[in-house]
């Protein structure tokens, strides 16, 4: 029978990373680490099971063996044998490039059938005054934006938003965005690694080369309509004792609920879909059948569709992700 799965983190050493993921219990390799891919079935980062009798097998392997028992009947019907998400932690020790992601339609036509990329960010920690780039200012047209790139004045076109720990931001494909310096986030996204950079602060890599920009493609996919992100209303639902759940992100790609666990809650899997949990604060246990799994901040757990009843106990916050 399947059981809650943990995976070995996949570390990425992009030039803007640091050492802050150690605060999430990550045993980092030497040097700066920018990302920890927690659950992924992408060619650029394949998750390997860390626990139980499936330890050492790739997520791709266990999907091929268990299919609907792992992913759920509705997910297999929609995505076949593809895991549709990437779940990761990001350490923006320095500013990320200003970038945009294509939607599914564009990516499948112009990027050899790949997925587009919608994503969301949850701010785990940040320095005072930390900001993200979210969209463009109201009066920015395609022509003005291109001129600003050519004149190295792109910052004049960008819409900046200050963030605080606990903030959620949804970034639809086509939205210009960037994570600012001094922010650690959890990111949940479609299974895609397509990024079109338009500005990278004239940085160079370890070989002294500037990173590639993708201005032409970016201009084809950017949404130049005004995009606003609003503070969300409190929609807490009691899920047992003093524990609460808030639905934070609803999209056609995925849904994300914030669980604030105070003691113990009972959950049950869904034969139509898998669940994932990302522990962003605190620690606890997951009990299923006669087994118990310890969970701590920085852990990511995949709940198979066939698991059945399980209990989460402890003190902490978790992001629960699922696809309807």
> Do 19 and 167 reside in the same domain of the chain?
yes
Do 152 and 262 lie in one domain? The reply is no
303 and 216 within one domain = no
Same domain, 200 and 286: no
Do strands 85-92 and 35-39 pair parallel, antiparallel, or not at all (unpaired)? antiparallel
CATH of the domain at 266: 2.60.120.10
With 0-12 CB in 10 A as exposed, 13-18 as middle and 19+ as buried, what is 193?
A: middle
Whether 19 maps to a domain, the answer reads yes
Among 196, 221, 246, the domain boundary falls at: 221
Residue pLDDT, tens place only, 203-219: 988 788 889 999 999 99
Query: Does residue 4 fall inside a structural domain?
Result: no
- The percent helix, strand, coil of the chain (3-state, each to 5) is 15, 40, 40
- Of the pLDDT bands very low, low, confident and very high (cuts 50, 70, 90), residue 229 is low
Residue 177: partners with Cβ closer than 8 Å, 6 or more residues away: 98, 99, 100, 132, 133, 134, 135, 171
252 and 141 within one domain? no
Would you say residue 2 lies in a domain?
Answer: no
Judge whether 105 is annotated as a binding position: no
Active-site residue (options: 19, 108, 131, 197): 197
Q: Domain of 141?
A: 10-221
* 304: confidence class by pLDDT, cuts 50, 70, 90: very high
- Give the residue-averaged pLDDT of 84-102: 98
211 has catalytic annotation: no
What are 131-187's pLDDT values in tens digits? Answer: 999 999 998 999 999 999 999 999 999 999 999 999 999 999 999 999 999 999 999
Residue 101 annotated as part of some ligand binding site: yes
90 falls within a domain: yes
- Residue 252 in marked binding region: no
Residues 110 and 63 in one domain: yes
Task: Count structural domains, the chain.
Answer: 2
Contacts of 284 (CB under 8 A, 6+ apart): 261, 294, 295, 312, 313, 314, 315, 316
- Same structural domain for residues 27 and 97? yes
pLDDT at residue 235, as a whole number: 82
């Amino acid at each position: 029978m399947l059981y809650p799965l943990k995976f070995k983190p996949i570390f990425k050493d992009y030039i803007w990373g640091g050492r802050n993921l150690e605060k999430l219990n990550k045993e980092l390799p030497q040097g700066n680490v920018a990302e920890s891919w927690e659950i992924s079935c992408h060619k650029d980062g394949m998750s390997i099971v860390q626990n139980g009798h499936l330890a050492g097998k790739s997520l791709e392997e266990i999907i091929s063996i268990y299919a609907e028992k792992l992913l759920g009947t509705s997910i297999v019907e929609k995505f076949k044998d593809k895991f549709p998400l990437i779940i990761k932690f990001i350490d923006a020790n320095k500013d990320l490039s200003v970038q945009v992601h294509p939607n599914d339609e564009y990516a499948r036509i112009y990027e050899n059938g790949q997925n587009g990329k919608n994503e969301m960010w949850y701010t785990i920690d940040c320095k005072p005054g930390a900001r993200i780039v979210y969209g463009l200012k109201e009066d920015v047209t395609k022509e003005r934006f291109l001129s600003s790139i050519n004149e190295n004045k792109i910052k004049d076109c960008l819409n900046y938003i200050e963030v605080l720990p606990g903030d959620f931001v949804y970034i639809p494909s086509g939205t210009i965005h960037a994570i600012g310096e001094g922010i650690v986030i959890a990111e949940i996204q479609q299974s895609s690694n397509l990024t079109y950079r338009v500005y990278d602060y004239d940085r160079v890599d370890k070989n002294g080369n500037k990173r590639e920009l993708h201005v032409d493609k970016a201009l084809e996919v950017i949404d130049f309509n005004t995009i606003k992100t609003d503070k969300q209303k409190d929609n807490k639902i009691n899920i047992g004792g003093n524990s609460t759940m808030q639905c934070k992100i609803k999209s056609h790609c995925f849904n994300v609920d914030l669980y604030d666990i105070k003691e113990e809650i009972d959950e049950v899997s869904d034969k139509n879909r898998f669940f994932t949990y990302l522990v962003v604060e605190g620690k606890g246990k997951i009990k299923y059948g006669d087994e118990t799994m310890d969970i701590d901040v920085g852990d990511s757990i995949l709940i198979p569709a066939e698991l059945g009843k399980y209990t989460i106990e402890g003190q902490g916050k978790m992001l629960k992700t699922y696809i309807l």
